[in-house]
């Protein structure tokens, strides 16, 4: 595709208000992607009210915003403000505050450090898979989002808090973050609405943020009380709270409780919702692609047997890795990456003024025909080693890029692989209500309708009878996004 660069000034494709808003109200995620792909990756200007963001999807432009001119595209502005009410001034911010958090946190999430936590994670996964026994009975259905959120949450809690937090308290954090992630949808879509005006989701968001503080602050205070003053040792080496406090004491001379809280809450939020939602969508893809499902199950059966899965298995599961990479192409949880322009610049030949909002859209980039053959098709074969080399480096950006690139990539790949392999070694999850699931935007994209799985023992080949599937039981609301008013009998925290 010819791209206007250099001195040529190009007009962006403009979508007028009366066309953009109804489409975004109806199906924001799909429509935003369509606007970008219809423009073939050119810059699109969205007229959605008092401000008009630029939609960025071409890999060259993604590279410019996130990497080569990253400091001119600040992580500030209307789109970040809704989240800042819970993440504060942290690793998810920008400027010197972000840089100091990044210096402190990066060494805590290297491949080597994450690998050292792998046994603990595998143990948590094995325990959870074992507990699913009671859900694998005829007539019982499991809500995939709930299942993936619970198991992800438990492993993330283990990594972040070690033994500092009980399972019960950890599980209280989960619905609060889910509420934060889902109740900002309105503010993300209409960020110009002033904060003095209450909008749908605000009340739930603020209440959940308060409950998160009520859980997290006491943990930090406890950890700080254990630290010797010089910050060189003490605390528990295997958990992040103490490591953060120690690093802050080293860097700033003291550990500001608010600062530690902001980083901890930001990491927890970034780690749990993203991974859980990616893994939720996996079950629709495996349902729609039985050949992928069969190959994946064969690989896991060959390597892991009937479980439990161990960290050493993971590198022997190359097809699983390909499936996860393709999952993040089709369903990148970080579906938009917003930025605010610092100084006048030019993007793909389009002059862009300081103060403008830019929306980098991995969801769109991953669907551009110029870079992806049959982009709408789920095809893990794209990730076969011999085919991977030929791609534009910025055509695949589920974890962002440049100095703000995701800190959790190693954690995601290890954790997701353990969860999928652990589950498939024991069970054959069958999606019982296949349909076109509605994409609900928030901090990640989640399905509006519950995805109902039936867990058959892994050796089973016969298809379950549809009549035996639907045995719903009214249950208390899950508090995860408010998408489901009721749910089916399921594992911990759910069941009737």
Q: Which stretch binds ligand HEM (CB under 6 A): 16-24, 122-130, 273-281, 472-480?
A: 273-281
Sole window of 142-150, 181-189, 191-199, 396-404 interacting with ligand HEM (rule: CB under 6 A)? 396-404
61 phi/psi in degrees, rounded to 5: -75, -35
Q: Which stretch binds ligand HEM (CB under 6 A): 45-53, 271-279, 312-320, 470-478?
A: 271-279
- Tokens 């809280």 found at: 261
CA-closest candidate to residue 158, choices 120, 111, 130: 120
Of 291-330, binders to ligand HEM (CB under 6 A) are 328
In the complex with ligand HEM, which residue's Cβ is closer, 208 or 277? Answer: 277
CA angle, 404 then 439 then 156, to 5°? 50
Contact between 411 and ligand HEM per CB under 6 A: yes
Give the shortest CB-220-to-ligand HEM separation in angstroms: 17
User: How far is the C-alpha of 223 from the C-alpha of 238, rounded, in Å?
Assistant: 12
Q: Which of 141/271 has CB closer to ligand HEM?
A: 271
**H or E element at residue 445:** strand 445-447
Residue 245's nearest CA partner among 114, 88, 104 is 104
How far, in whole angstroms, is CA 185 from its chain's centroid?
15
Site for ligand HEM in 8-47 (CB under 6 A): none
Distance (Å, whole) CA 459 – CA 426: 8
> x-or-dash pattern for ligand HEM, window 46-75, by CB under 6 A?
-----------------------------x
- Only segment of 180-188, 218-226, 304-312, 398-406 that touches ligand HEM (CB under 6 A): 398-406
Is residue 406 marked as binding? yes
Question: Which among 425, 426, 398 is positioned nearest to 412, based on CA atoms?
Answer: 398
Terminal alpha carbon distance of the chain: 56
Helix (H, G, I), strand (E, B) or coil at 20: helix
* Both tokens assigned to 295: 């190959």
What is the b/e burial string over 87-119, where b = at least 16 CB atoms within 10 angstroms of the residue's CB?
Answer: bbbbbbbbeebbebbeebbeebbeeeebeebbe
Is 336 a residue that touches ligand HEM (CB under 6 A)? no
Whole-number Å distance between alpha carbons of 357 and 50: 12
Is residue 82 near ligand HEM by the rule CB under 6 A? no
Binds ligand HEM by CB under 6 A, chosen from 255, 407, 414, 487: 407
Q: Does 270 bind ligand HEM (CB under 6 A)?
A: yes
Nearer to ligand HEM, 141 or 411 (CB): 411
From candidates 53, 82, 380, 408, binder to ligand HEM by CB under 6 A: 408
Q: Pick out the residues of the known binding site for heme.
A: 406
* Chain residues in the site for ligand HEM (CB under 6 A): 75, 91-92, 102, 109, 267, 270-271, 274-275, 278, 328, 332-334, 337, 398-400, 404, 406-408, 411-412
């Amino acid at each position: 595709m010819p791209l206007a660069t250099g001195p040529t000034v190009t007009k962006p494709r403009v979508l007028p208000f009366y066309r953009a808003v109804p489409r975004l109200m109806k199906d924001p995620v799909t429509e935003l992607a369509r606007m970008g792909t219809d423009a073939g990756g050119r810059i699109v200007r969205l007229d959605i009210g008092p401000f008009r963001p630029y939609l960025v999807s071409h890999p060259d432009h993604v590279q410019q915003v996130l990497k080569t001119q990253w400091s001119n595209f600040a992580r500030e502005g209307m789109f970040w403000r809704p989240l800042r009410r819970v993440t504060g001034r942290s690793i998810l911010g920008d400027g010197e505050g972000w840089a100091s958090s990044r210096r402190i946190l990066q060494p805590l999430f290297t491949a080597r450090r994450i690998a050292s936590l792998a046994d603990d994670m595998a143990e948590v996964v094995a325990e959870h898979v074992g507990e699913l026994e009671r859900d694998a009975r005829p007539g019982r259905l499991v809500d995939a989002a709930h299942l993936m959120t619970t198991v992800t949450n438990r492993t993330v809690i283990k990594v972040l808090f070690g033994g500092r937090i009980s399972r019960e308290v950890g599980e209280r954090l989960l619905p609060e973050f889910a509420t934060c992630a889902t109740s900002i949808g309105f503010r993300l879509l209409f960020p110009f609405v002033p904060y003095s005006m209450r909008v749908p989701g605000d009340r739930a968001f603020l209440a959940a943020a308060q409950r998160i503080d009520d859980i997290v602050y006491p943990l930090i205070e406890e950890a700080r009380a254990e630290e010797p003053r010089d910050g060189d040792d003490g605390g528990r080496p295997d958990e992040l709270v103490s490591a953060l406090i120690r690093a802050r004491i080293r860097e700033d001379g003291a550990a500001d409780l608010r600062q530690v809280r902001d980083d901890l809450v930001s990491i927890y939020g970034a780690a749990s919702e993203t991974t859980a939602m990616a893994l939720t969508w996996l079950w629709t893809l495996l349902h729609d692609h039985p050949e992928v499902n069969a190959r994946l199950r064969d690989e896991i059966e060959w390597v892991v047997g009937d479980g439990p899965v161990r960290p050493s298995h993971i590198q022997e599961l190359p097809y699983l890795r390909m499936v996860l990479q393709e999952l993040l192409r089709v369903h990148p949880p970080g579906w938009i990456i917003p930025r605010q322009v610092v100084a006048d610049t030019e993007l793909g030949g389009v002059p862009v003024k300081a103060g403008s909002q830019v929306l980098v859209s991995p969801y769109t980039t991953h669907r551009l025909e110029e870079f992806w053959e049959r982009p709408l098709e789920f095809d893990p074969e794209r990730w076969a080693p011999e085919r991977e080399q030929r791609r534009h480096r910025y055509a695949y950006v589920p974890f962002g890029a440049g100095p703000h690139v995701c800190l959790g990539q190693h954690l995601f790949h290890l954790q997701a692989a353990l969860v999928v392999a652990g589950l498939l070694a024991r069970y054959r999850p069958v999606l019982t209500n296949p349909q076109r699931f509605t994409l609900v935007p928030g901090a990640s994209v989640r399905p509006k309708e519950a995805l109902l799985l039936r867990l058959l023992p892994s050796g089973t080949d016969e298809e379950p009878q549809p009549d035996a599937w639907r045995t719903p039981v009214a249950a208390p609301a899950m508090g995860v996004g408010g998408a489901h008013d009721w749910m089916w009998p399921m594992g911990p925290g759910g069941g009737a």
